[in-house]
């Protein structure tokens, strides 16, 4: 089936004329029609635009010398502004927002010939780890436990992207990662998710959550596909002053690189009390696979790991409270009815427009930045952040890459969500430190747990060394030979 192909296979097939871009796109649109009603992975499906783009791709392919992604159908997280296509950030307050411009990352993908199938669901303003905070409804993970059909969360915040890729209703998708929002849903849905180094992809035109952490990246079914997509997404952009003016290497070439002599660090602090034996066993399996591929395994310490989450939950809300100040019902977005004054208009529009989790984070951020508390919370967190970054710098003097679990558990049920927000935040315990330090990191699916759900391992690299992640990730992928697919997917009996 066309929907079963990887991006690399489809790109080759298009060039051999085995099928056309139009056929490939139509196969995906039809699968979305069958599955999206249940999965809710897409908020907006742009079928007509996709078919027009596919027709154009067929012409480009016929003319020869087409860029790599020509005719490849992708899902776009609904946090990337897309010219003329509604962009909601999963929020009521932007439910009517149609950007008159294109984000740099999506413009780069379009330039590379990609076809956009639609905008994928996410936690509101990318704030969440289960895709339960979207104003456009929950996303169902295409995977189910072998014992029962309980609906599980896809992870978050890029939950719609992860579910779409896992269910074969997109060949790949863009995600964004602030504290784990690419890697954790990738692990929950059994796919590959790569968060590049902070600065590798432009943030211009991506709706901001926490600007010192936000980074776009690819979500795909293989490491090679992640390399192909990142190649097109990355690069310096004068419109984002934090975008790095560093040449983008040939990522795809890194997939076949030898790992002989590569030093892999195993951080002691990623083994907290109460971690499941099953997850420890999968981690050990990953260690053994890399050792067999020629790597040297080295024990390392990242002593400030346990402070990562608390630091994150000061810095990220602080930045979010500032970034989200722009949504006030005046220039764009939804304006509340019946306001009696300007302040009343602000307060009503923001109360009605934001969901509970977003309001909570704005309020935490406002508190930690307010007079009298700034030094105790925000300044302190920035200093701890320095210590976290130094931990990584010290570890990377001894090793080339780190291997850890991606998330503390497999996907959980929609109705098994913890009531306490702090318990929910613990999902990101292994992904947040790399975000705080700006390191690139990738989740690779490695095994199924005893209940039949995917578990992922995380690789963390040096700044701007995504190539080593890709090389080590490809080796893990090869020896794990993870070929399981979810029960809900295009072409499978649903």
Q: Is 234 in the site for another protein (CB under 8 A)?
A: no
Do residues 151 and 184 touch, judged by C-beta distance below 8 A?
A: no
Query: Minimum Å distance from CB 197 to another protein?
Result: 8
CB of 283 to another protein, least distance (A): 25
C-alpha closest to that of 406 among 427, 430, 423, 425: 430
Taking CA atoms, 425 is separated from 72, 309, 312, 357, 420, in Å, by 35, 8, 10, 11, 9
Determine the interface stretch with another protein among 58-66, 161-169, 250-258, 358-366 (rule: CB under 8 A).
358-366
Helix (H, G, I), strand (E, B) or coil at 41: coil
**Beta strand segments in 201-348, E:** 215-220, 263-267, 296-300
* Options 221, 463, 485, 489; binder of another protein; rule CB under 8 A: 463
- 394 binding another protein? (CB under 8 A): no
Give yes or no for residue 343 binding another protein (CB under 8 A): yes
- Which two tokens mark 70? 């020509």
Site string for another protein, 242-281 (x = CB under 8 A): x-xx------------------------------------
* Part in contact with another protein (CB under 8 A); list of ranges 98-106, 113-121, 149-157, 444-452: 98-106
Q: Is 136 in the site for another protein (CB under 8 A)?
A: no
Judged by DSSP in three states, 470 sits in: helix
Using CB under 8 A, which residues numbered 44 to 73 contact another protein?
A: none
User: Closest CB to another protein among 71 and 199?
Assistant: 199
Tell me the window of 5-13, 147-155, 256-264, 384-392 that interacts with another protein (CB under 8 A).
Answer: 384-392
Our finding on whether 384 is near another protein (CB under 8 A) is yes
Which of 50, 164, 290, 381: binder of another protein (CB under 8 A)? 381
Residue ranges with strand state E in 326-472 = 401-405, 441-448, 454-461
Minimum CB distance to another protein, residue 307 (Å): 6
**Cβ 235 to another protein shortest distance, Å:** 15
Of 254 and 314, nearer to another protein (C-beta) is 314
Distance in angstroms (rounded) separating the CA atoms of residues 328 and 308: 32
Which residue from 1, 268, 281, 363 is in contact with another protein, where contact means CB under 8 A? Answer: 363
The one catalytic residue in 157, 158, 321, 443 is 157
Stretch that binds another protein, among 146-154, 226-234, 235-243, 397-405 (CB under 8 A): 235-243
Q: Which of 26, 257, 263, 359 binds another protein (CB under 8 A)?
A: 359
371-405 b/e with 16+ CB inside 10 Å = b?
Answer: eeeeeebbeebeebbeebbebbeebbeebbbbbbb
Near another protein by CB under 8 A, which window of 149-157, 262-270, 361-369, 454-462? 361-369
Q: Which of 192, 219, 51 is nearest to 482 (CA)?
A: 192
Closest CA to 94 of 250, 192, 4, 207: 207
Closest distance to another protein from the beta carbon of 100 (Å): 4
Return the structure tokens found at 416: 């098994």
Burial 287-323 (b: 16+ CB within 10 A, else e): bebbeebebeeeebebebbebbbbbbbbbbbbbbbbb
Distance of closest approach, residue 383 Cβ to another protein, in angstroms: 4
Nearest distance in Å: CB 87, another protein: 10
Contact status: 340 vs another protein (CB under 8 A): yes
> Is 6 among the residues that bind another protein (CB under 8 A)?
no
77 is catalytic: yes
Rule CB under 8 A: choose which of 146, 421, 484, 494 binds another protein.
421
Q: Is 195 assigned a catalytic role?
A: no
Task: From the candidates 91, 134, 161, 181, give the one annotated as an active-site residue.
Answer: 181
What is the phi/psi pair of residue 116, to 5°? Answer: -95, 125
CA-CA distances (angstroms) from residue 329 to 292, 319, 333? Answer: 58, 20, 6
Residue 275 CB, shortest distance to another protein, in Å, is 19
For the CB of residue 199, give the shortest distance to another protein in the complex, in Å.
6
Count of helices and strands (H, E) across the chain: 16, 11
The mark string for 161-200 relative to another protein (x by CB under 8 A, - otherwise) is ------------------------------------xxx-
Please indicate whether residue 157 is annotated as part of the active site.
yes
- Residues 403, 280: contact at Cβ < 8 Å? no
The rounded distance, in Å, linking the Cα atoms of 178 and 213 is: 5
The Cα–Cα gap between 156 and 67 comes to: 31
Q: Which of residues 157 and 311 has its CB atom nearest to another protein in the complex?
A: 311
Alpha helices (H) along 354-428: 356-369, 380-398, 421-425
Give 131's DSSP letter: S
Residue among 126, 37, 57, 138 at smallest CA distance from 87: 126
Find the length of the chain.
494
Q: Choose, by CB under 8 A, the member of 26, 348, 414, 451 that binds another protein.
A: 348
Measured distance CA(183)–CA(352) in Å, rounded: 31
Q: Which residues are catalytic?
A: 77, 157, 181
Binding site for another protein (CB under 8 A): 96-98, 100-101, 197-199, 212-213, 238, 241-242, 244-245, 304, 306-307, 310-311, 313-314, 321, 325, 328-335, 339-348, 350-351, 354, 359-360, 362-364, 366-367, 370, 377, 379-387, 389, 420-422, 437-438, 463
């Amino acid at each position: 089936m066309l929907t079963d192909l990887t991006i690399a296979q489809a790109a080759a097939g298009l060039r051999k004329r085995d099928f056309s871009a139009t056929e490939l796109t139509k196969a995906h649109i039809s699968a979305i029609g069958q599955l999206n009603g249940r999965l809710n992975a897409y908020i907006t499906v742009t079928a007509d635009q996709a078919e027009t783009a596919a027709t154009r791709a067929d012409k480009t392919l016929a003319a020869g010398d087409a860029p790599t992604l020509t005719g490849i159908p992708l899902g776009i997280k609904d946090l990337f502004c897309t010219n003329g296509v509604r962009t909601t950030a999963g929020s009521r307050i932007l439910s009517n927002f149609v950007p008159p411009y294109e984000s740099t990352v999506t413009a780069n993908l379009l330039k590379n010939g990609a076809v956009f199938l639609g905008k994928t669901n996410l936690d509101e303003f990318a704030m969440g780890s289960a895709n339960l905070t979207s104003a456009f409804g929950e996303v169902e993970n295409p995977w189910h436990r072998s014992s029962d059909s309980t609906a599980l969360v896809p992870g978050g915040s890029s939950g719609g992207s992860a579910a779409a890729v896992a269910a074969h209703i997109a060949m790949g998708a863009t995600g964004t990662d602030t504290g784990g929002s690419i890697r954790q849903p990738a692990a929950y849905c059994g796919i590959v998710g790569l968060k590049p180094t902070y600065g590798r992809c432009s943030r211009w035109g991506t709706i901001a959550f926490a600007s010192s952490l936000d980074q776009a990246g690819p979500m795909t079914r293989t490491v090679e596909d992640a390399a192909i997509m990142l190649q097109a997404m990355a690069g310096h952009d004068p419109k984002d002053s934090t975008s790095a003016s560093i040449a983008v290497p040939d990522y795809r070439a890194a997939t076949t690189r030898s790992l002989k002599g590569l030093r892999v660090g195993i951080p002691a602090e990623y083994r907290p009390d109460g971690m499941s034996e099953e997850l420890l066993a999968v981690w050990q399996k990953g260690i053994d696979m890399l050792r067999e591929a020629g790597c040297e395994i080295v024990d390392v310490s990242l002593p400030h790991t346990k402070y990562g989450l608390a630091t994150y939950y000061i810095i990220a809300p602080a930045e979010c409270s500032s970034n989200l100040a722009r949504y006030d019902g005046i220039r764009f977005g939804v304006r509340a009815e019946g306001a009696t004054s300007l302040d009343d208009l602000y307060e009503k529009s923001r109360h009605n427009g934001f969901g509970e989790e977003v309001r909570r984070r704005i309020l935490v951020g406002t508190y930690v930045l307010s007079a009298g508390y700034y030094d105790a919370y925000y300044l302190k967190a920035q200093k701890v952040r320095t210590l976290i970054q130094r931990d990584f710098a010290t570890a990377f003097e001894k090793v080339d890459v780190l291997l850890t679990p991606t998330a503390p558990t497999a996907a959980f049920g929609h109705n098994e969500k913890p009531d306490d927000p702090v318990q929910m935040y613990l999902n990101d315990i292994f992904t947040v430190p790399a975000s705080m330090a700006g390191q690139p990191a990738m989740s690779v699916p490695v095994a199924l747990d005893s209940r039949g759900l995917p578990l992922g391992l995380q690789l963390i690299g040096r700044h701007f060394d995504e190539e080593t992640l890709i090389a080590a990730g490809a080796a893990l992928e090869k020896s794990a030979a993870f070929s399981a697919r979810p029960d809900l997917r295009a072409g499978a009996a649903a």
